[in-house]
Amino acid sequence: MVSKLEAAMEGLIKVFHTYSSKEGDKYKLSKAELKSLLQGELSDFL
């Protein structure tokens, strides 16, 4: 059984890889990828 924390971390990692795989290195976010992630996933906080 997966804990709530493990499920949350898995979700964060999946979202990160969704945005980081758009350009170059899939293990790093470019400034454009970070901007896209924040606008797409955290628009209610911005």
* pLDDT per position as a tens digit, 1-46: 999 999 999 999 999 999 999 998 999 999 999 999 999 999 998 8
Number of domains in the chain: 1
Q: Is residue 10 part of a domain?
A: yes
The answer to whether residue 21 is domain-embedded is yes
Distance CA 35, CA 41 (A): 10
Domain membership of residue 24 (yes or no) is: yes
Say which residues have a Cβ less than 8 Å from residue 28's Cβ, sequence separation at least 6.
20
Q: Residue 46 falls within a domain, yes or no?
A: no
Query: In the prediction, which pLDDT does 22 show?
Result: 92
State the Cα–Cα distance between residues 27 and 3, nearest whole angstrom. Answer: 25
Torsion region of 4: left, alpha or beta (phi above 0 gives left; psi -120 to 50 gives alpha): alpha
pLDDT at 36: 97
Q: What's the pLDDT score for residue 46?
A: 80
Q: Which domain holds residue 35?
A: 4-41
